[in-house]
Structure 1
Amino acid sequence: MATALGNRAHQRKSFAKRISTHLAAALVTFCLLQIAIVAKSGGSLVLHLGIIIAIGGYAVAARGLERRWQLLERGGLSDSGLALRFRRDVAQLWAASLCGALLWIPVTIIYRFLFG
């Protein structure tokens, strides 16, 4: 019985660790894509300050997701319920990271149109 509970707790802990790993990788990807897009478009200081603000917002959202998984880890959810939530959160995380970084393309186009 103790081994079954120990394995179950270990598996839940691994979900929280795995989400943290995905968060770190997604943050690096988010930052690199933003920097590359702004650098390719000949970004100004205003756009670089926008990158700093976007990364700060991403960090706040990432911390919220980590807290959510800490709470889910303590909850009484089944392993299949946790696995489903994990897959959904990972898909949303990567979609937000990639799409969020690609939003700089229209921003830089509009910025260049308005300010040369």
Structure 2
Amino acid sequence: MPKALEQQHQAQESAQTSTGQKLDWRRKISDHVAFGLLVYTGLHIFGTMTQLKTGNGSMLPYLALVILVAAIIPACRWFEMRWEGLSEEQATDPALAPAFKREVTLMWAAVVGLPVVLTLGFKGLSALF
């Protein structure tokens, strides 16, 4: 019994962050989504603005901005909603760390990769037309 209590105490201690706050996957995913949307928007606007400065008069850069609203915001919200449904006990469970890391990695790959892919794709389409 003392060994089990000691293991439970160690698990609770490892669930705390360096600031002394308890680990909460819901809060952490919300932070990642917020920062991810900021990064995505910045990258997307930078890529789109370079296309708008070319002076082609194409509607494709504007279509790319519509994709921002129509695709990435609901996708990021989906990531966040998957973690918001956790109970208080599950939200502090360190066993969810691998799943959390996997989903955050996937989200950040989309956040950084999608603006590049969209910009290159629309640039290729504008070259065709």
- Measured against the shorter chain, the TM-score band is 0.7 to 0.9
TM-score by length of 1: 0.75
Runs of 4+ in 1 over 4 A off after TM superposition: 75-78
Count of matched residue pairs: 109
Match of 2:29 among 19, 26, 34: 19
Could you tell me which runs of 5 or more consecutive residues in structure 2 were left unpaired when the two chains were aligned. Answer: 16-20
- 2:75 is aligned with what amino acid? A
Deviation at 1:48, TM superposition (A): 1.5
Task: Map 1:28-107 to 2 at 5 A.
Answer: 28-42=38-52, 44-71=58-85, 73-74=86-87, 79-107=93-121
- Distance (whole Å) between structure 2 residues aligned to residue 34 and residue 82 of structure 1: 31
1:34–1:101 Cα contact (<8 Å) kept: yes
Three-state SS of the structure 1 residue aligned to 2:112 is: helix
Q: Deviations over 1:20-79 (max 9, x none)?
A: 1110111111111111111112364332232122333111112211221022x2287582
Structure with the greater alpha carbon radius of gyration: 2
The two structures, once aligned, show a CA RMSD in angstroms of 2.8
- 2:72 is aligned with what amino acid? Y
1:38–1:108 Cα contact (<8 Å) kept: no
State which drifts further: 84-93 or 44-53.
44-53
Quote the sequence identity (%). Answer: 24
- Distance (whole Å) between structure 2 residues aligned to residue 111 and residue 47 of structure 1: 11
Larger relative contact order, structure 1 or 2 (CA cutoff 8 Å, min sep 6): 1
Distance 1:11 1:89, change over 3 A: farther
Task: Kindly indicate which of the two structures has a greater share of residues assigned to helix.
Answer: 1
TM-score by length of 2: 0.68
- Distance (whole Å) between structure 2 residues aligned to residue 66 and residue 46 of structure 1: 30
1:38–1:104 Cα contact (<8 Å) kept: no
- Distance (whole Å) between structure 1 residues aligned to residue 119 and residue 66 of structure 2: 16
